[in-house]
Amino acid sequence: MNLTYGIIIVVGLLIAGILGMIALDPGYLENAPPKPGIEKETVCTNEDNPMCGVDRVTYDNLCKMHLADVELSYKGKCVVVEATETEVVMDEPSADHTVSIPEGSGVVGCEETNECYIPYSLNVAIGETVSWSNDDSAAHTVTSGSPAGGPDGMFDSSMIMAGETFEYTFDEEGTFAYYCIVHPWMIGEVVVGDAGEMVVEPEPEPEPEPTPEPEPEPTPEPEPEPEQDTPISSAMPRAPMSHTVEMAIGSGVPGCEETNECYLPYSLEILVRDTVVWDNIDSASHTVTAGSSADGPTGLFDSGLFLSGTTFEYTFDEEGVYPYFCMVHPWMVGEIIVNEVQELIVEPPNPAADDRDMIVDEPIREERMSGPHEVDMAVGSAVPGCEETLECYLPYQIEISSGESVLWNNIDSAAHTVTSGIPGSPDGVFDSGMVMSGGTYEFTFVEPGEYDYYCMVHPWMTGKIMVA
């Protein structure tokens, strides 16, 4: 009995000692060396006993990690690693200033308030960037220079379509004027450096002196011109003809497509080997490009960009239907229908030719001016309004003697023509063709009579020559 009690007391003391050691060091059992023996299979339960690694990611039950063959990088307590602050670099906008190309600037009128580019004048520092945003529905350009002097080559955006932008960085001090090549009334300026605020002073246009309209004197009826010596009485093939299509005024703004009146006429029927001349009577620049706005150019013909007052022509050598459009204003569409030549023209003999011996040429007056009479194409005559005071050609009417000459000077910035006849009906007596800005045209009048003339590009421009 005493032995039994002794064993119980010794075992109790051992158990009490082990419990005391556990109380003093709780990690003892965790770090205790494993006992030799067979390793039992780990069984997963739904118990949530998260473990934490040095990467601050919390893992689920340790048994699940063992089954997935995943080990913690650190098997002790969760170590909190101090987070390193990462500097976030935001992309700074590339442009320091923005200029808007506003809606409707493709139509004349915004220049009256300097609101074709907004702002019209912009002050920037050297090294800063300006971004132009096309908020209009039409295409535009941002071209350094001026409409009068043309591009100076410093910067040019080329064609900026609706919704697109153009940027330029200014590295030199100065005042840099720019404009839109397509719509030359659109102008702006960028002031670089310490030039201060600029005072907008539009360039004054010379005002033509009003010329009183002389009262026409009664003149004898012009005598008929001699006819051809040999009348044509036989059948002959139809000669190739020239046809004209106009870009309607205001076609640079959407709306003309609703009535098919962007090109006038919209559809034109011609014969093989005929020529079509497109006449830009609008104030905006346009193109005549074979193809469609949906499918793009076909490459058959393309005028490129031609300005107000200029023309483009193309001769059609094959039968077919040829649609075309304006690349700048894609709502502008038209078509040319080319048919084969199947007719012969018979010109009857001219009975008046037998009376040609009765025509007597009047002697030319010996007293003449030492030089030609001069007529100016007025500044601003490319815009309707001058016809109200008969001041499109200055003077509107002049009187000369037979054998004297008239010299027309184009002092306007737009191109014009001097075409005998009335608007829409040239009579073929004289035609200058296109007279560019600064150019001249001269014609000598031999036959007495009254000669009306007009500008084919701007048909409101009319004038008159009285030959005695």
Q: pLDDT at residue 169 above 60?
A: yes
Q: How far is CA 160 from CA 99, 115, 133, 301, 335, in A?
A: 13, 18, 9, 23, 27
Q: pLDDT at residue 293 above 80?
A: yes
Which amino acid, one-letter code, is at 193? G
By mean pLDDT, which of 100-104, 146-150, 442-446 is the weakest?
146-150
Measured between alpha carbons, how far is 426 from 432 in angstroms, rounded to an integer?
12
Tokens representing 69 are 């063959």
Calculate mean pLDDT across residues 407-424. Answer: 92
pLDDT band at 272 (very low <50, low <70, confident <90, very high): very high
Q: pLDDT at residue 236 above 80?
A: no
Calculate mean pLDDT across residues 207-211. Answer: 61
By mean pLDDT, which of 22-26, 188-192, 332-336 is the weakest?
22-26
What is the predicted pLDDT for the residue at 58? 52
By mean pLDDT, which of 45-59, 95-109, 333-347 is the weakest?
45-59
Q: Does residue 395 have a cis bond before it (omega within 30 degrees)?
A: yes
8 Å CB contact between 279 and 251: no
Measured between alpha carbons, how far is 355 from 229 in angstroms, rounded to an integer?
11
From the list 417, 381, 454, 434, the residue with the least C-alpha distance to 465 is 454
Put simply, whether the predicted model's pTM sits higher than 0.75 gets the answer no
Calculate mean pLDDT across residues 274-291. Answer: 92
Query: Tokens 């309004």 correspond to what residue?
Result: 385
Q: pLDDT at residue 233 above 70?
A: no
374: β partners = 407
8 Å CB contact between 67 and 44: yes
8 Å CB contact between 103 and 116: no
What is the predicted pLDDT for the residue at 359? 43
8 Å CB contact between 134 and 162: yes
Measured between alpha carbons, how far is 182 from 263 in angstroms, rounded to an integer?
18
The mean pLDDT value of the chain amounts to 78
